Structure 1
Amino acid sequence: MAGIRDSRRALARLLHSEAAPGLVLMACAALALALANSPLAHGWHALFHGTLPWTPIAKLDSAHLWINDALMAVFFFVVGLEIKREVLAGALADAQRRRLPVIAALAGMAVPALVYLAVTRDHAGLHAGWAIPAATDIAFAIGVLALVGKRAPPSVRLFLLTVAIVDDLGAVAVIALFYTAKISVAWLGAAGAVLAAMVLLNRLNVRATWPYMLLAVVLWYAVLHSGIHATVAGVLAALTVPMALNAHHDSPLLRLEHALVAPNGFVIVPLFGLANAGVALGGTGGSPLAPLPLGIAAGLFLGKQAGVLAAVLGAENLGLAQRPEGTTFAHLWGMALLCGIGFTMSLFIAGLAFPGAPALAEEAKVGILAGSLLSALGGALVLRFARSHAID
């Protein structure tokens, strides 16, 4: 009985740790990969990609589309809430403090894209995937960092989190600007009207959360039919939710973020991993040295660490900003490596980059998995052996 109680306590501690969402995501990715390379592969694929017998929205006729276009809108809604909170009252609120992570995030998006385009330069049909290695997976990266423990000072976690948040904002902008289908002016106008109504609620200081949630669903439906990817609606809706604290130090934004963080980390993102991470390694996506997977893996593993590390050291040497407190070169290098874990957002962008080419989407998954795994292992090893007077 004592052993069972100890196991339960250990499980409870794990589930309440910041590493938990990342570990659940890793487990789901491994399960999806195992299923895709097992005798159950056909049934697994049919479960997510088969046409549903009935759907309330004609555009979403498979479980895969419901996950990627509907549930992931909730994921982006939470991302939007986090971005707004950080900009108004967090690490991005102070211009001097946000300078370095913004510079690092921009360089960490540009350099991987350039590495990818350099590898795929002779294959014009692959150029649409330039943004795939530009993203960082917050849950995965923070999960790996949490497993390293006290080998990294708290400032590394805060900096990594801030870079990833800016990175997410950049990814949303990329999706809206570069991965948009034919625009429907009528639906776009409807979306604009709904968004204006949400802004008005904010201006009127409406503190209840249900009006924002209701209009967020309407906004999502309009954006879904507008030609812009539906998940962009999640971020736009989140930015209208009031952040100002009341007498009880509470706000609609904080209540919604608190309510959605667990479902987002333990249900939505793992479901996305199950539906998108599986790739048949012996099939069309099985060659990691093909230009597409090689370009993505090189962008994530080499481009990310080079861009982020060069930006941090360059900004410090030029006097533009100071490195995170208590960090050594090894801490910065390990953090830059962890930025190369692009799992969730990279898989998402890959689906947008090659919507009508399943073979290319499979190849992209190989590159994402390889680049993210190398980045995770490399970052963990560097931080594991990093030393600092602030820690030792």
Structure 2
Amino acid sequence: MSLKRHFANNLARAFTKLMGGEASAGILLIIVTALALTAANSPLAHDYHYLFHHELSWTPIAKLDSLHMWINDALMAIFFFVVGLEIKREILDGELSSAAKRRLPVLAAAAGMIAPALIYLAAAGSGQPMQRGWAIPAATDIAFAVGVLGLLGNRIPPSLRLFLLTVAIVDDLGAVVIIALFYTAQIKMMWGVGALILLAGLILANRRGVHHLWVYMLLGLGLWYCVLNTGIHATIAGVVLAFTIPLKPLYRGDSMLLRLEHALVPWNSYVIVPLFGFANAGVALSGIGLDGLLDPVPFGVALGLFIGKQIGIFAAIVIADRLGFAPRPAGASWVQLWGMAVLCGIGFTMSLFIGALAFPKYPLLIEEAKLGVLVGSLFSALLGYTILRFAKSPSPGAA
């Protein structure tokens, strides 16, 4: 009995330590993904889909007539708001605040978006509607990737983790631009004018040094509602609002941006993203089957994430270092940099989100895109972890 208790206590302590570290958000995403897949391929499948997709008997906003719409258009606006806060902080006072710091992460992120898109188009073909999925494998999921790094502990140098985070943040900015430019329906001008007026009010509040949170939240809510009705995806309003939040320190030494970011990151990591994952990762394999992975869309997405990401990012680092354009992260070996590039092929949240935008009229293609995202991300996580688990840091003075 004492042996069992001792084992149980050790297991509980290990689990608590694990969930208290930076790996916890990634582990939670793995759990909700498994639950979604299980629900979608079990006797609960009808209840699962009904929960998220049935028309609500009442909704305060007519366009959001299902729980799935509320999650993807409203809650995910908060997700994008936090992403925007992180991007602004990094650009003004972080790893993207100078040209020297920006060079390598921006180059690596750009190559890590272009290569997967090209591989997707080569695998899936350029015909309609398949070609609309070209951006699905372009984004890296920060929570999953950092979660895998957290499992590795001190086996990886701090510079590698910081570089991955920076690349992923630039990657997110690129995904936001792609959504705004390529996945926007016809814009309704009157709502667009309203959005511009509210944006002007937010910018004016920032320039005038207004530090009342309610002003930004009230104008931001109006901005989100206008954008929701323009035809531009409503989540873009979250990023735009974030860029107007003041970073200038208050008399207490902190700032509105930092306070909001610190307050919302846990909600993002442990509520919004897992809820989005559970609502969107449930792929009904009975309609596709694992052999369906060879269909153009899932094959292109999986190949883009698993092959395209590592080729684009690693090649960019090697070329930039060899040409003297930007040095590789200090203290990281080439094998470790390769493992980090492979991990960037984990494309869960943004990839699922873009997949839903790419094929709004083709439910089967959305499901196939989900399958490609899950398979490509799984292979990237397993290979990336294996490489980093056994890679050695360079010896001092090694080139």
Scaled to the shorter chain, the TM-score interval is over 0.9
Alpha-carbon separation, structure 1, partners of 2:74 and 2:93: 29
Q: How far 1:5 moved relative to its partner?
A: 7.1
Contact 2:346–2:381, Cα closer than 8 Å, also in 1: yes
Report SS of the residue matched to 1:282.
helix
**Which residue of structure 1 aligns with residue 329 of structure 2?**
324
Query: CA 1:390–1:247 in 2, change beyond 3 Å: closer, same or farther?
Result: farther
> Which piece of structure 1 moves more, 282-291 or 360-369?
282-291
| Residues 116 and 138, structure 2, Cα contact 8 Å, conserved in 1 | yes
CA RMSD, aligned part only? 1.6
Secondary structure, in 3 states, of the residue corresponding to 1:242? Answer: coil
**In 1, Cα distance between the equivalents of 2:164 and 2:195?**
34
Moved more, 344-353 or 244-253: 244-253
What's the counterpart of residue 298 of structure 1? Answer: 303
The percentage of aligned residue pairs carrying the same residue is: 61
Task: Report the equivalent of 1:174.
Answer: 178
Picking from 99, 102, 119, the partner of 1:98 is: 102
TM-score, normalised relative to structure 1: 0.97
Q: Distance in 1 between matches of 2:240 and 2:367?
A: 30
Most deviating of 284-293 and 178-187: 284-293
Cα distance in 2 for residues equivalent to 1:364 and 1:6 = 40
Amino acid paired to 2:277: G
| Equivalence for 2:375 | 370
Q: Is the 8 A contact 2:332 2:394 kept in 1?
A: no
CA distance in 1, matches of 2:150, 2:395: 18
Gaps of 5+ in 1: none
Kindly indicate whether residue 250 of structure 2 is the aligned counterpart of residue 266 of structure 1: no
Opposite residue 130 of structure 1, the aligned amino acid is W
What's 1:347 paired with?
A: 352
Residue aligned with 1:104, SS: helix
Instruction: Name the stretch that deviates more: 217-226 or 240-249.
Output: 240-249
Cα distance, 1:246 vs. partner? 2.6
Shift of 1:316: 0.6
Report deviation, 1:245.
1.4
Structure 1 stretch displaced more, 187-196 or 281-290: 281-290
1:208 and 2:192 equivalent? no
Cα distance in 1 for partners of 2:170, 2:27 equals: 23
Aligned residues: 391
Q: CA deviation at 1:97?
A: 1.1
SS at 1:92's partner residue? coil
Q: Give the alignment of 1:198-237 within 5 angstroms.
A: 198-237=202-241
Show the 5 A alignment for 1:1-392: 10-121=14-125, 123-284=127-288, 286=290, 287-389=292-394
Alpha-carbon contact 2:125-2:296 (below 8 Å) kept: no
Relative to structure 2, which stretch is displaced further, 25-34 or 207-216? 207-216
Are the aligned partners of 1:285 and 1:366 in contact in 2 as well (CA < 8 Å)?
Answer: no
Which letter maps to 2:200?
Answer: A
Q: What is the CA distance between 1:104 and its match in structure 2?
A: 0.2
| 1:3 Cα deviation after fit | 7.7
Helix, strand or coil for the counterpart of 1:259?
Answer: helix
- Displacement of 1:122 in angstroms is 5.7
Amino acid corresponding to residue 332 of structure 1 in structure 2: L
Deviations 1:67-118 (A, max 9, x none): 0000000000000000001111111112101100000000000000000000
TM superposition shift of 1:2:
8.1
Does the aligned pair in 1 maintain the 2:314–2:337 contact within 8 Å? yes
Structure 2 counterpart of 1:156, one-letter code: L
Q: Using a 3 Å threshold, how does the CA distance of structure 1 residues 34 and 159 change in structure 2: closer, same or farther?
A: same
1:253-293 Cα deviation digits (max 9, x unpaired): 01111110111100000000000001011213641111110
TM-score normalised by the chain length of structure 2: 0.95
CA contact (8 A) 1:300 1:375 kept: yes
- Give the Cα–Cα distance (whole angstroms) in 1 for the partners of residues 83 and 233 of structure 2: 16
Q: Give the counterpart letter for 2:114 in structure 1.
A: A
SS at match of 1:364: helix
Contact 1:209 1:256 in 2 (8 A): no
Please give the alpha-carbon distance, in whole angstroms, between the structure 2 residues aligned to 1:123 and 1:367. Answer: 18
Letter of the structure 1 residue corresponding to residue 232 of structure 2: I
How far apart are 1:342 and its partner, in Å? 0.5
Distance 1:168 1:180 in 2: 17
- The one-letter code matched in structure 1 to 2:322 is N
Q: Aligned-pair distance for 1:389?
A: 4.0
Q: Is the 8 A contact 2:130 2:297 kept in 1?
A: yes
Where 2:293 maps in the other structure, the secondary structure is coil
Give the letter for the 1:100 counterpart. Answer: L
Q: How far apart are 1:306 and its partner, in Å?
A: 0.2
* Cα displacement (A) at 1:317: 0.8
CA distance in 1, matches of 2:13, 2:220: 38
Q: Please state whether the residue corresponding to 2:376 is helix, strand or coil.
A: helix
Q: Is the contact between residue 285 and residue 364 of structure 1 (CA under 8 Å) also seen in structure 2?
A: no
CA shift in 2, pair 1:45/1:244, >3 Å:
same
Give the CA deviation at 1:10. 4.7
Distance 1:145 1:210 in 2: 37
Deviation at 1:13, TM superposition (A): 3.4
Counterparts of 1:383 and 1:272, CA distance in 2: 29
Post-superposition shift, 1:123?
3.7
